[in-house]
Structure 1
Amino acid sequence: MSPSRAAVLVLATLTLVPACGNGSGSEPPPAAPGERVGSTSARVTAPAPAEDLAAAVAGNGALALDLYRVLSLEAEENLFFSPQSIAFALSMTYPGAAGETAAAFERTLHVSIPEPDYHRAMNDLDRQLRSRGAGAKAADGQPFRLRLVNQLFAQRGFAFEPPFLDVLAQEYGADVRLLDFASAPEPSRGAINGWVAQETEDRILDLLPQGTITTDTRAVLVNAIYFNAAWAKPFDPALTRDREFTLLDGSRVAVPTMSSADLAARAAQVDGVEVVELPYDGGELSMLLLVPPSGALAALEQALTPERLAEYVAALRAEHLALTLPRFEVRSSLALKPPLAALGLEVAFSELADLSRMSSQADLLVSDVVHQAFVKVNEAGTEAAAATAVIIGVTSMPTIRPVAIDRPFLFVVRDDATGALVFVGRVTRP
């Protein structure tokens, strides 16, 4: 594929994936963002076999920790992202790939089952996650929200392969919204960013930076996730006060810190790592805190594998804790092309890319993958949002164990039933 012929596919992690290709002739005027076309197939609602769902969740978890290990080496301080959003964005791109490019997606996503079974399992995972929180409360006092949305934004008049559109519709619930990237790239970028902002309750405002959408763009695949949940047992704001937190360099700062004198929770100590699980209202999702000894954060990060994480979860036991936890808010904006290339997806970003199952009208490649994520943790609960654009007691008198989270730590928001890692992050400076 020569540079002059190369068409570009941009992937975004909201999940948002813009694709681009060469157009010919005059382009039609911009279409309204609400104008929809695409497959007429209905979304499949039947569950996937349990073993296929487990395989997809395991693959997503492996991708999550692969990315975390790479991103943590580059992040100066705090880090937060949604591996589940990234997995959905990449998975929607995967059915458009062929040959070595498809194999690269399979390696990066850790696909271990036949492709149709994988997409059906991802469909079931999406369905299960969206079902969480019935009757539960959010941190803002409104009903619990775990919202996931998939969407394909496409160049008006550009032809996509019907089987590709069928997979998006049947397994990801994604239809096609028409825009005119070729004649109006900036208004198109604004329309997509506006859609993302709406789906994430204005927590992700500018997913696609200026310049990511060009006249060569032909499609943007987008996944958006919004999460808002109250703790099962909220912290008392009256007990929050400034406490010392030790930074990576050993210095200390005073930060607003929540506390609970007698919190019934599952916890463990594994090889010096404090592991604490904080459930959300409704009992279907939880935050898992991993607090290594002082100075050992990097060692924990690089040793964290799906098997190791499973060991931490298996070690959890009911305890009574005198817990202190800083309030924190983290916003990350990540360029995922370099880490994904390092993890095996490099061919998709090159002129050797084969996305012929997506469209035969032009040669396509993935020009970028961008991701934004936001999390706010306070006494009431957790609010989190992410977007990806390819261009997650004792009946006797208890012993109360003090756990002071006063040093850098990792945290994971997990779906308890499937084990899906919805969000992953670290806090080094609250």
Structure 2
Amino acid sequence: MHWRKMKLIILLFIPGILANNAFPPNSGNPYYNNHCGNHRYPLDRNYPNQANLGSNRSPNEIVVGTNSNFAFKFLRLAASNGDQRANSGKDNLVFSPMCISSSFAMLALGARSETLDQILRGLNFKPAEIAERNIHEGFHDLIYMLNSGKSGLHVEMGCCLFVQNKLHPKPDFLYGLRNIYRGDIYMENFKNSAETTQHINNYVERKTHGKISKLIDRVDPLTEILMVSYFYMKANWKKPFDPKYTEPREFYVDPYTVIKVPTMFQMGRFESGRDDQRACTILKMPYQGHADAYFILPDKGKMDRVVSSLSNEAVQAWKRILHRSSVNVYIPKCSVNGELNLKDIVYSMGIVDVFTEKADLSGITGQPQHRVNSAIHKAVMVIDEKGTEASAASAMDLVPMSMPDVFRADHPFLFMLVESSTESIIFMGKISNPAES
């Protein structure tokens, strides 16, 4: 039996770049002029005996909490999955759990039966307890809050489907794609591989403001649906580093490898603390707007222990541990990027059928014979001095009378970017070698 292929490509872009343009309407695309009734969320495939969710927590609170659990689970699997990278223990790992989970949640709009159940369970939702419409509503509210600027951050987040022009996506799916997940859609001739490849790369280049000009080398002519998801963000430090204090310092990649990397320095009053239970030290640095960076520095040789112990409970415990004090901060200046094959990771999470002949994604086009051929997540993270246009003098606090604490990230560390008004984890990284780009 001939099975049609659907390729899923997930693109992420980074803290550090300003998104100036508002999300453009998909004008001129006839598929957006569909009429799906007056339902804000067209899919409501509740399960038998399903609980009436939402009375105690809003949908976006449900999504944020569940997505945090997904983020830590994904980190554990990705950090330990040696098949993903040549040497997983020493390579950098960067990803956006929000970008990944929202992409698969969007895919759930077109999934049916066991395929749908696997996606929702793989994302850490419990379909028997949570109405699917609440999941989509939660993602909708979170995505639109991030894109609206209400968080005080410059964010552009969305997705795009490139569909073989002989197919006809279903109106309900298109409605959800556009109105819930802020999606675009373009009809393509995948058999014209060169032209389609150029169109996709041009789209990605435009959405990342010229920072990524070549996402893919070529499109498989057998591809019928290709999905791109992107996350583009600028987060300025509330208190920027002064470049004149950046200088080469030693970084211990492992006990046998020491390198020199540009290391930023500033003295200031920050929240920091020691987590003895998880063998790590935490530094919390605020961005402008509603976002914070958590730098998590494991004791030397304890990275695996820390990764395996991270959870929502750990983050809640840090609220009791962290205290504001004078801190001398040493952070490597780096730009790291990576590519993950999501298939093996989400396979371990139970999302299996979408990659097999058992896939039921008939909600996309009405035709059951679609499956995801590949799922790729590309991410870039920049950690540098950039912040507001403040004078150099404002970047250094007065020297305190008492000896300050010292946070010196001179060996592998973890990074987490949290939108503070919702406590949503939107970016994570494991920096093993800041010199590797």
Query: Does the alignment reach a TM-score above 0.5?
Result: yes
Counterpart CA distance in 2 for 1:155 and 1:248 is: 48
- Kindly provide the CA deviation profile for residues 302-338 of structure 1, in whole angstroms up to 9, marking residues without a partner as x: 2222322332345322121011111111011121111
Q: Which moved more, 1:225-234 or 1:297-306?
A: 297-306
C-alpha displacement of 1:233: 0.5
**1:407 match:** 411
Cα 1:230–1:53 shift into 2, 3 Å: same
Q: Which moved more, 1:363-372 or 1:123-132?
A: 123-132
Residue among 186, 191, 198 paired with 2:194: 186
Residue among 144, 151, 158 paired with 1:127: 144
C-alpha displacement of 1:80: 0.8
Residues 14 and 89 in structure 1, CA contact (< 8 A), matched pair in contact too: no
**1:107 match:** 121
Residue among 210, 221, 225 paired with 2:227: 221
Cα 1:35–1:8 shift into 2, 3 Å: farther
**1:170 match:** 179
Question: Does residue 61 of structure 2 align to residue 60 of structure 1?
Answer: no
**1:389 match:** none
C-alpha displacement of 1:362: 5.1
Question: Does residue 10 of structure 2 align to residue 13 of structure 1?
Answer: yes
- Describe how 1:3-402 pairs up with structure 2 within 5 A: 4=2, 6-14=3-11, 36-39=29-32, 40=34, 50-73=57-80, 74=82, 75=88, 76-112=90-126, 113-132=130-149, 145-181=154-190, 183-210=191-218, 213-260=219-266, 262-271=267-276, 272-282=279-289, 284-361=290-367, 363-381=369-387, 400-402=404-406
Runs of 4+ in 1 over 4 A off after TM superposition: 41-45, 396-399
Residues 105 and 120 in structure 2, CA contact (< 8 A), matched pair in contact too: no
C-alpha displacement of 1:153: 1.8
Residues 252 and 258 in structure 2, CA contact (< 8 A), matched pair in contact too: yes
Counterpart CA distance in 2 for 1:102 and 1:420 is: 24
C-alpha displacement of 1:83: 1.4
Cα 1:313–1:290 shift into 2, 3 Å: farther
Question: Does residue 433 of structure 2 align to residue 416 of structure 1?
Answer: no
Q: Which amino acid aligns with 2:379?
A: A
Cα 1:299–1:259 shift into 2, 3 Å: same
Q: Which amino acid aligns with 1:13?
A: I
Q: Which amino acid aligns with 1:81?
A: F
Which secondary structure state, in structure 1, belongs to the residue aligned with residue 362 of structure 2? coil
Counterpart CA distance in 2 for 1:314 and 1:152 is: 44
Cα 1:302–1:424 shift into 2, 3 Å: same
- Unaligned runs of at least 5 residues, structure 2: 14-25, 42-53, 83-87, 389-396
Cα 1:338–1:34 shift into 2, 3 Å: farther
Q: Which amino acid aligns with 1:164?
A: F
Cα 1:345–1:217 shift into 2, 3 Å: same
- Kindly provide the CA deviation profile for residues 326-377 of structure 1, in whole angstroms up to 9, marking residues without a partner as x: 1111011121111111211111100011111222235101111011111111
Q: TM-score, normalised by structure 1?
A: 0.83
**1:30 match:** none
Q: Which moved more, 1:57-66 or 1:92-101?
A: 57-66
Residues 101 and 123 in structure 2, CA contact (< 8 A), matched pair in contact too: yes
Residues 336 and 370 in structure 1, CA contact (< 8 A), matched pair in contact too: yes
- Kindly provide the CA deviation profile for residues 355-409 of structure 1, in whole angstroms up to 9, marking residues without a partner as x: 1122223510111101111111111159xxxxxxxxxx9xx96652112111110
Counterpart CA distance in 2 for 1:44 and 1:147 is: 22
Q: TM-score, normalised by structure 2?
A: 0.81
CA RMSD of aligned residues (A): 2.6
C-alpha displacement of 1:15: 6.9
Which secondary structure state, in structure 2, belongs to the residue aligned with residue 158 of structure 1? coil
Cα 1:310–1:131 shift into 2, 3 Å: farther
C-alpha displacement of 1:35: 5.3
Counterpart CA distance in 1 for 2:306 and 2:387 is: 26
Which secondary structure state, in structure 2, belongs to the residue aligned with residue 242 of structure 1? strand
**2:432 match:** 428
Question: What is the percentage of aligned positions where both structures have the same residue?
Answer: 26
- Kindly provide the CA deviation profile for residues 8-58 of structure 1, in whole angstroms up to 9, marking residues without a partner as x: 121111279xxxxxxxxxxxxxxxx9852324369969xx98532111112
Residues 15 and 89 in structure 1, CA contact (< 8 A), matched pair in contact too: no
Cα 1:43–1:366 shift into 2, 3 Å: same
Cα 1:420–1:60 shift into 2, 3 Å: same
Residues 360 and 368 in structure 2, CA contact (< 8 A), matched pair in contact too: no
Cα 1:168–1:133 shift into 2, 3 Å: closer
C-alpha displacement of 1:196: 1.1
C-alpha displacement of 1:7: 1.1
Counterpart CA distance in 1 for 2:287 and 2:28 is: 38
Counterpart CA distance in 1 for 2:408 and 2:150 is: 29
Residues 36 and 175 in structure 1, CA contact (< 8 A), matched pair in contact too: no
Counterpart CA distance in 1 for 2:217 and 2:121 is: 28
Residues 78 and 345 in structure 2, CA contact (< 8 A), matched pair in contact too: yes
